């Protein structure tokens, strides 16, 4: 039977945990070494939605792996021993597998038993959005389904990081289009396209999607948040050259779908991690 990514991550975590415990028991300086590595490496790890401040996160997270197991697209991985005190804690590598919000309910946050991933702000955002929706759409006797409204609000409330675009290598900025599948052969990343014409209810392979764009705009059209997060803007140079380029907006959540879907190599888009207060 083929093992899932989450099974492998979980197994590796348990195996490596045993090794780490034995090593620390044998070498008294192990804890100090891990602390040093934590300072150097963990700050760069992109945490799942709702992660508290990094300095608190590495102690609040009990490394249970529940967030890994519940993610429907297996976007969450567990940090390795080289990541110091972050070892065994969850992170996301958006170029390999972005968080596309396929769960529609912030399941990784909700399932966290220690609030290292804090669900309370998402719960409040969903409740406030539903109350506002009811006030804006008063229909006597009508029963409202809060799920769609709350889900959208919770997704938008996410702030894992901020996308940063290198316009020097961006296809759109350089007037280039794109045709074909976005990633290299053998790439196994998946996502649920937000394009309503595709009517997809589940995530599918990135490379199952074929594109034909006169000017490349995949980072914009495939964003699960939409134009509040990223949009194409027209610019004019001092020489009168007119061009379009994607621009990151305040609504960017750092989910990384734009990073995963971008066909450019070297990588044109990265996610800069944001620290919570």
Specify the 3-state DSSP secondary structure of 161: strand
- CA nearest to 92, candidates 250, 276, 254: 254
Spatial distance between the Cα atoms of 191 and 224, rounded to a whole number of angstroms: 9
In DSSP notation, 101-121 reads -TTSS-HHHHH-SSSSB--HH
Burial category of 221 from C-beta neighbours within 10 Å (exposed 0-12, middle 13-18, buried 19 and up) = middle
Consecutive H or E run containing 165: strand 161-165
Tell me whether the omega of the peptide bond preceding residue 270 falls within 30 degrees of 0, making it cis.
Answer: no
Give the pLDDT of the chain (277 residues) as one tens digit per residue.
555 555 555 555 555 555 444 444 444 455 555 555 555 566 789 999 999 999 899 999 999 999 999 999 999 999 998 888 889 999 999 999 999 999 998 999 999 999 999 999 999 999 999 999 888 887 766 666 788 899 999 999 999 999 999 999 999 999 999 999 999 999 999 999 998 776 667 899 999 999 999 999 999 999 999 999 999 999 888 888 888 999 999 999 999 999 999 999 889 999 999 875 5
Residues β-bridged to residue 62: none
Consecutive H or E run containing 213: strand 211-213
Sign of CA dihedral 216, 217, 222, 223: positive
**pTM as predicted:** 0.83
- Cα 161 → chain centroid: 8
């Amino acid at each position: 039977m083929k093992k899932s990514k989450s099974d492998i991550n979980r197994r590796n975590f348990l195996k490596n945990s045993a090794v780490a415990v034995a090593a620390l028991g044998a070498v008294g300086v192990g804890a100090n070494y891990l602390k040093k590595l934590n300072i150097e490496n963990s700050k760069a790890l992109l945490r799942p939605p709702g992660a508290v401040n990094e300095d608190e996160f590495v102690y609040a997270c009990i490394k249970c792996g529940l967030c890994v197991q519940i993610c429907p697209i297996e976007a969450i991985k567990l940090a390795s021993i080289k990541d110091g005190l972050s070892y065994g804690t969850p992170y996301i590598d958006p170029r390999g597998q972005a968080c596309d919000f396929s769960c529609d309910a912030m399941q990784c946050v909700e399932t966290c038993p220690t609030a290292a991933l804090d669900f309370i702000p998402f719960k409040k955002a969903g409740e406030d959005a539903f109350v506002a929706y009811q006030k804006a759409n008063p229909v006597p006797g009508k029963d409202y389904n809060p799920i769609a409204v709350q889900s959208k609000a919770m997704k938008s409330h996410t702030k894992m990081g901020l996308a940063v675009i290198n316009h020097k290598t961006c296809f759109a900025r350089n007037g280039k289009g794109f045709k074909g599948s976005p990633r290299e052969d053998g790439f196994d990343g998946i996502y649920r396209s937000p394009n309503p014409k595709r009517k997809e209810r589940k995530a599918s392979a990135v490379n199952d999607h074929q594109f034909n764009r006169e000017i490349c705009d995949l980072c914009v059209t495939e964003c699960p948040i939409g134009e509040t997060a990223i949009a194409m803007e027209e610019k004019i140079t001092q020489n009168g050259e007119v061009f379009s380029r994607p621009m990151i907006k305040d609504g960017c959540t750092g989910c990384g779908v734009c990073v995963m879907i971008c066909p450019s190599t070297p990588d044109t888009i990265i996610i800069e991690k944001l620290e919570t207060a």
